[in-house]
A and B are shown apart, each in its own frame.
Chain A
Amino acid sequence: MSYSFISPRDEKELKEEISAPGSFTMSGGTDLLVKIRMGKISPQKIVSTSKISTLHFIDENDDEIVIGSTITHAELLEYKPLREAFPVLFDAIYTIGSPQIRNRGTLVGNVMNASPAGDGLLALYLLDAKIEISNGDAVNIDEFVVSPGRTILPKGEYVKSIHIPKSKWDHHYFEKVGQRNSMTISIVSIGWLIKCGSEAIENLRIAFGSVAPTILRLKDVEKFSKGKKIDEKFVHVVSDMVKERVNPIDDVRGSAQYRKKLCSNLMYRMVEEGIKC
């Protein structure tokens, strides 16, 4: 196992380096290095984005927050407006790995890893984030991620940033169920955003992790929820809908049957959280 390691100074140099065959783009390296060590990939060249100053930024305007591709999880947690604007993203990032991992790992890395269990990724699905690619395209997150470990990013291109449109929500929730409490990969993860109308749900978004090849947004459940009141009866119905729509697999962390049960049970958290609308 031997490879060259290159750390371009600007985006032009980056683009040249990553077009070579066998080259892998590295952000924090928290997934890439693990994969190399496990023998899952054998790169000929690793191209690090860490020294490129134009990728290291957080921009904010009235409509959106834009996160550059070398911004780490820890930096995001320290960025005060994030917690106010996107508390669900804050909560999700907070559960990623350990402090050491969060100091290295980036949100863009979490997207590129395209894990069905990706914590930050789940929040980005909920927030309708867009991925800005170096060729100028901006792609919706659910179209960007294709399957475990795969995205539509063309060879020779890289992710410049993530755009998260600002939106107002009354309630947010993120939870991952793992066997242990931290440094864990979820058996199932769940997140939702709720905007209440005067008497009922005005808008709801819901997503699950680790139950399908990608993060799963349940848009028909979202549609169904509009105008409904959150009570036991409502939760009972959506919990059944959820059970039918998730499509988990058996693995070492848990069986498909257990995962299905978890998904539907976690819906009851809506009532337990005391959400009234």
Chain B
Amino acid sequence: MNVREERSVATSLSSDKNFDVVNTSVEKIDGYALVKGKPVFTDDFDVPDSLIVKILRSPHAHAIVKNVDASKALELSGVACVLTYKDVPRIAFTRAGQGYPEPSPYDTFVLDKKVRYVGDAVAIVAAESEEIARKALKLIKVEYDVLDNIIDYEHAMDENAPIIHDESEISGAYDPKHNIASHYEMHFGDVDEELSKCDVTTEKTFYTPNQSHAMMEPHAAISYFDANGRLTIITSTQVPYHVRRIIKRIFGVESRVIKPRIGGGFGGKQAVHVEAYVTAVTLKTGRPARCIYTRKETMTASNTRHAMRFKIRVGADKDANLRVIDMQGLSNTGAYGEHALTTFMVAGSKTLPLYNKVNAVRFMGDIVYTNTESAGAFRGYGAPQGAFALDCALDELAHKLGMDPVEFKLKNSIREGETSPVFKVMGEGREGVEQIVGSCKIEECAIEGAKLFNWHEKRERQRIEGTKAHGYGVAFAMQGSSIPAIDMGGATIKMNDDGTFNLMIGATDLGTGSDTILAQIAAEALHTSVGKFVVYSSDTDVTPFDKGAYASSTTYVSGNATKRAAERMAREILKAASEITGESVEKLHLENGKVISKSGKSLTYSEIQTQLFYTFKQRQLEVTESFVSEVSPPPYMVTFAEIEIDLETGKVDVMSMLNYVDCGTPINPLLARGQVEGASSQGIGMALYEEHIFDKNGRMVTDDFFTYKVPSRDDIKKITVKFADSYEPTGPFGAKSVSEIGLDTPGPVIANAIFDAVGIRVNRLPIKSEDLYFKLNERGLTP
């Protein structure tokens, strides 16, 4: 196959769908409230008589808490309580908000007598005002027995390394005595034998960094007893149902969890952060308690992306057939093992199936504890880490073969109707599921993308001119849509006599627009408009269960649940109309908010529900449906990028980036584009700017936006997003996921473009100007 041939990919839509509401860019249903600054976020809830909760945090990376003397703080007028590890249940749990039983180790306590990173919680203070709470923090005297620490994860398994988790209650960790939270290995075929048969091989080690979610809204929660004494928690979370379950596990108390509008999460809120602290205070004092993290706490004491190292070996024969991939990894889970195993596995399971024609694959490694902020879920969830190593290695292999990397990657990638053994072997924390790929337009993404980007013409250009170098890179990616056979979501639809519907979902809109796209799906199935849906998400006392917003699952899982519920509601409406009109259901159909009969008669939804309320076979039409995925259809993406390097400073600018995406039917093209652009931006941040710098005691120096640089608008320049004409047979109206995949490519595409420009293979993110400058300098490329 030669992608340089003048050919086009057939782009016939494989379905006969003519959509009315789906696949249109309707306005976000909460957009106006947000731009008008309406009180929608957790911190906007005014619960009268609330205590303000602050957390006393450890200044040491690793220490035993010998004594906490809070007497001075308690003497301060307005201090309601100071809680230490002696005052909270000693129940080991994981903060990871995952399905039950969680694949993460139970290695965390609300408060412990040992602190494991700078920022770990030592005491909970509750006071009448923030000022008093801050004063009280300063009056608490803590005696520490400071221990040796591990900051660099490459030394976590050293012979004399201190043991970070020596508590007896720990469970589910692989080998805590050697600081190994989790371990994983899989293989098929014999990688060493295959490598020995290859004509061309490449071996290299790649590093990806920690990264902060940097969501606008910090972590926040408020707890109180309602009038009947039921514990209620309002929290900025992606996982309200998991929060309810974990709070029950820790405190043995039933609760109601309300998730208002979330101001961004990116995986950072797929965990229990603040909820346990406010709950402890409300249970102790009986009073409402509110805790809003500062930016510094959000940066240093919540979650970060798992930093990973991969030693990768790949090999191909002289005909450019990729034969073998071997990835040996090491992942830094920080102080606690949240999402330790699963993020590591995703580094393989959401990258390796892309190249399904290999004879042998091995993927293995350890996930280790260190005395740094706990890593957790972060958009991409391991896939960006794996993709950086894999895509860069394949780029290098293509170069060694003297082949266009687009051609090499495309030749070896998966196609519609094919499968990969990796799907079955690797799930999340356990075995995966077999699946045949039902939609895959990677050929369109690569070939049409190359044309759109002018790939072939650009590669003929001079790379170095004067003091500037230009380079052109390509990266391929896949992701998943939900965690198959685990993720479940529900949707309830209730019809009202004014012709509106309540759509109640446990799915958690964290800025993604899921409330809007789920309304679009329901409106499509019920032949009405988005404006007829009153969307409510989510409240564990009101809405049906949903696993939460993670793993690129909401469109696929919650979307399918919503579609099912809407289709059942459609049947209920037809049945009621048939009873009212006396005409058989077969002669009726739904159109534009009405039931129309072949005889020409019509009844509006409003007329039907009004009759059902007051005059005819009285009942409330309401349905609940659930969906659990059997497969996890991957979206695919090919990214092209042009970069410019200033040879006098080493500074890299991403001049343009084209993302050609196969996400099935984009339910809302504008919102889908926003997802890809946002993920690309976060990926550019990870590739070029964002860095956690620690001092020698393990304190994060880059703990604010002054020092931690997320990309600004000027750094993003031009991102183009193009959607392939694709239809996923198992998805709601043909949709797959789109929220995470955009983060997989910026790292490799920028590194590949740098290689293209100046022949330097960068193997570590972020690519700092200074480091690149000295590499350029070594090669004599600087003035």
Specify the chain A residue showing the minimal Cβ separation from B468.
A272
Check if B712 sits within 8 Å of A181, measured CB to CB. Answer: yes
Choose the segment among A163-171, A196-204, A254-262 that binds chain B (4+ C-beta atoms closer than 8 Å): A254-262
Check if B712 sits within 8 Å of A183, measured CB to CB. Answer: yes
A168 to chain B, nearest CB (A): 29
Check if A272 sits within 8 Å of B467, measured CB to CB. Answer: yes
A86 to chain B, nearest CB (A): 24
Provide the bound-state CA to CA distance between A266 and B565, in Å.
Answer: 64
Provide the bound-state CA to CA distance between A269 and B467, in Å.
Answer: 9
In the complex, what residues of B have CB within 8 A of residue A252's CB?
693, 701-702, 707
B762 to chain A, nearest CB (A): 15
Among A232-277, those with CB < 8 Å from B are 252, 254-255, 258, 261-262, 265-266, 268-269, 272
In the complex, what residues of B have CB within 8 A of residue A184's CB?
709, 712
Provide the bound-state CA to CA distance between A252 and B690, in Å.
Answer: 12
A102 to chain B, nearest CB (A): 14
Among A2-47, those with CB < 8 Å from B are 2, 34, 38
Q: A182-B712, A268-B467 are in contact. Are A177 and B770 (CB under 8 A)?
A: no
- With an 8 A cutoff between CB atoms, is A179 at the interface? yes
B757-783 to A contact mask, C-beta < 8 Å, 1/0:
000000000001110011001000011
Provide the bound-state CA to CA distance between A132 and B131, in Å.
Answer: 40
B468 to chain A, nearest CB (A): 9
Choose the segment among B260-268, B414-422, B645-653 that binds chain A (4+ C-beta atoms closer than 8 Å): B645-653
B714 to chain A, nearest CB (A): 4
Q: Which of A1, A180, A185, A261 contacts B711 (CB 8 A)?
A: A180
Q: Which of A182, A185, A255, A268 contacts B770 (CB 8 A)?
A: A255
Provide the bound-state CA to CA distance between A165 and B706, in Å.
Answer: 34
Specify the chain B residue showing the minimal Cβ separation from A252.
B693
Provide the bound-state CA to CA distance between A178 and B714, in Å.
Answer: 12
In the complex, what residues of B have CB within 8 A of residue A258's CB?
770, 773-774
Check if B769 sits within 8 Å of A179, measured CB to CB. Answer: yes
- With an 8 A cutoff between CB atoms, is B318 at the interface? no
Chain A interface extent, by class = 20 to 34
B687 to chain A, nearest CB (A): 12
In the complex, what residues of B have CB within 8 A of residue A262's CB?
648-649, 773
In the complex, what residues of B have CB within 8 A of residue A261's CB?
773, 777, 782
In the complex, what residues of A have CB within 8 A of residue B688's CB?
179-180
Q: Which of B134, B648, B693, B712 contacts A180 (CB 8 A)?
A: B712
Check if B466 sits within 8 Å of A265, measured CB to CB. Answer: no
Chain B facing A: main interface SS: loop
Q: A254-B770, A265-B783 are in contact. Are A181 and B707 (CB under 8 A)?
A: no
In the complex, what residues of A have CB within 8 A of residue B36's CB?
none
Q: Which of A38, A255, A265 contacts B648 (CB 8 A)?
A: A265
B244 to chain A, nearest CB (A): 35
- With an 8 A cutoff between CB atoms, is B689 at the interface? yes
Check if A266 sits within 8 Å of B689, measured CB to CB. Answer: no
Provide the bound-state CA to CA distance between A193 and B98, in Å.
Answer: 61
- With an 8 A cutoff between CB atoms, is B38 at the interface? no
Check if A1 sits within 8 Å of B134, measured CB to CB. Answer: yes
Provide the bound-state CA to CA distance between A99 and B727, in Å.
Answer: 44
Check if B783 sits within 8 Å of A179, measured CB to CB. Answer: no
Specify the chain B residue showing the minimal Cβ separation from A255.
B770
Provide the bound-state CA to CA distance between A184 and B649, in Å.
Answer: 16
Check if A182 sits within 8 Å of B714, measured CB to CB. Answer: yes
Provide the bound-state CA to CA distance between A262 and B777, in Å.
Answer: 12
- With an 8 A cutoff between CB atoms, is B715 at the interface? yes
- With an 8 A cutoff between CB atoms, is B17 at the interface? no
Provide the bound-state CA to CA distance between A268 and B649, in Å.
Answer: 11
Among B120-157, those with CB < 8 Å from A are 131, 134
**Closest 10 A/B residue pairs (Cβ):** A181-B714, A265-B648, A258-B770, A182-B714, A182-B712, A181-B715, A180-B709, A177-B649, A180-B715, A180-B689
In the complex, besides A180-B715, A184-B709, 15 extra interface pairs with C-beta distance below 8 angstroms are A1-B131, A38-B704, A179-B688, A179-B768, A179-B769, A182-B712, A182-B713, A252-B701, A252-B707, A254-B769, A255-B770, A258-B774, A261-B777, A261-B782, A266-B649
A-B contact pairs, 28 of them (CB 8 A): A1-B131, A38-B704, A177-B651, A179-B689, A180-B688, A180-B689, A180-B712, A181-B653, A181-B712, A181-B714, A182-B712, A182-B713, A184-B709, A184-B712, A185-B706, A187-B770, A252-B693, A252-B702, A252-B707, A254-B769, A254-B770, A255-B770, A258-B773, A261-B773, A261-B782, A265-B649, A266-B648, A272-B467
